[in-house]
Amino acid sequence: MIPLALDEIAALAPGRLDRAPWASEVNGVQVDSRRIAEGDLFVVVGRGADFRKHAFARGAAATLVPDDAFAALGAIGRAVRDRASARVVGITGSMGKTSTKDLLAALCAPSARTIANEGNFNNEIGVPLTLCRLEPDTEVCILELAMRGLGQIAELCEIARPEIGVVTNVGPVHLELVESLDGVVRAKSELVAALPPRGVAIVPEDFPVDREDIRVVRLGAPAAEVRDGRTSVGGVSFNFVAEHQAQNAAAALAALEALALPRPERVDVDFSRWRGEERELPGGGLLINDAYNANPVSMRAALGYLAARAGDRRRVAILGDMAELGRTAPAYHTEVGRAAAELEVDELLAVGELAHGYVDGAAGVPSRWTPNVHEALRQLDELVRPGDAVLVKGSRAMGLEAVAEALAAVKA
């Protein structure tokens, strides 16, 4: 991190600041005391005050109990951003944000000193923490920007000040808070509105942009060729075969071009956890662990991927509730059930109260329902056979990674 003086921290973030006797500045920021390295600042969030002694024991330069944790982290992250020369890319969208971030980071890394947010560090805590990893020689900073309602992307952009903005797509996500697809568009448009003059907006073909002082790059369906377990997009060979990742790769390549960085011929991407991870199962079976999150569009894409990867294996879908869909939730769950039937799923396990809709929609598909993950685990021995291709997918709150982990733990 670009160092900040402790006196400046005190001015930026009102609260209780306790300093180590030897410290005059900090060179890192953490909210988890287990991650503290020597010279870091430990910022207390929630009930973290109990871990201040642990932070000092690990070498913290100071601990801060802020009056307002989110405001404090934002102010510190903004101060580091002010001192950095790195170009900042913000990525948002209804689906594919994290994968696009992973793809762009892999594309940039061979030619530029690059940082990107870890995992799901994409909110009012994670974005400042990522900015606090900026070093004097960092050239590219890639930030995933999440939202749960209107105004939140704007707040994150005020801290991060991206000069390139990527909107991967717009779909029925967070409808509980923004009410409609138009609301989703308005929320994602906050990233475009935050770009500086001469900034670059990379958006879907039909995404409305009212600004004339920025460059707008519109993304259509990319040409992609799958061969030998890899996909070629824009002349770059990637280590994925999922069709939906080609669109994410095209968005990442457009951002790479906006950064004026060269295209590598071949890229191997380490995608974040639980996003289409594949594992072998007994008897030649296949597990697709896509348990990180779910919405109607990504559910259909995942079911299509299951069909494509299954070959002649039996297709089993273990699907959890899709959250934050508001009053539209029952209809969308029924729609996903119909997609499971259309894509010839052989057996369906629906997990959660809303998941009744999957069963209702999947006419003709042998289906069973269970209220929670605990009960779903009890069903696995009867449900999954050696040689099956199994998709596990649901919203983050459902915790379906436990189901995927149980399946992966079964030995041949």
Report the DSSP pairing between strands 15-19 and 4-5: unpaired
Instruction: Give the chain's domains with CATH numbers.
Output: 4-68 (3.40.1390.10), 84-267 (3.40.1190.10), 277-408 (3.90.190.20)
From the list 207, 100, 112, 192, the residue with the least C-alpha distance to 153 is 192
pLDDT one-digit tens code per residue, 255-285 = 999 999 999 999 999 887 777 889 999 999 9
> For 398, which DSSP code?
G
Out of 83-87, 173-177, 236-240, 329-333, least confident range: 173-177
Question: At residue 349, what is the residue type?
Answer: L
Tell me: the pLDDT tens digits for 361-396? 999 999 999 999 999 999 999 999 999 999 999 998
Going edge to edge, which strands form the sheet with 15-19? 15-19, 62-66, 41-43, 29-30
- Mean model confidence pLDDT for the chain: 94
Residue 233 pairs with which residues in a beta bridge?
A: 224, 236
Query: What pTM value is reported for the model?
Result: 0.85
- Report, as an integer, the average pLDDT of 43-60: 94
d(CA 265, CA 285): 32
Q: In the prediction, which pLDDT does 303 show?
A: 96
Q: DSSP assignment, residue 38?
A: T
CA–CA distance, 215 with 195 (Å, rounded to integer): 10
What is the spatial distance between Cα 148 and Cα 157, in angstroms, rounded to a whole number? 15
Which carries the bigger pLDDT value, residue 380 or residue 174? 380
For 182-221, the pLDDT digits (tens) are: 888 999 999 999 999 999 999 999 999 999 999 999 999 9
Whole-number Å distance between alpha carbons of 12 and 27: 16
Higher pLDDT, 16 or 327: 16
pLDDT digits 0-9 by tens, 289-337: 999 889 998 899 999 999 999 999 999 999 999 988 888 899 999 999 9
In the three-class reduction of DSSP (H, G, I as helix; E, B as strand; rest coil), residue 57 is classed as: helix
- Determine the length of the chain: 412
* Confidence (pLDDT) at 411: 65
Residue with tokens 């996500």: 173
What is the pLDDT, as a whole number, of residue 412? 55
Whether the pLDDT of residue 138 is over 60: the answer is yes
3-state secondary structure of 363: coil
Classify 169 as helix, strand or coil.
Answer: coil
Across the range 122-139, mean pLDDT stands at 97
pLDDT tier, 174 (very low <50, low <70, confident <90, very high otherwise): low
Radius of gyration of the chain (CA): 23
More confident residue, 91 or 326: 91
What are the DSSP calls for 58-92, one per residue?
TT-SEEEEESSHHHHHHHHHHHHHHH---EEEEEE
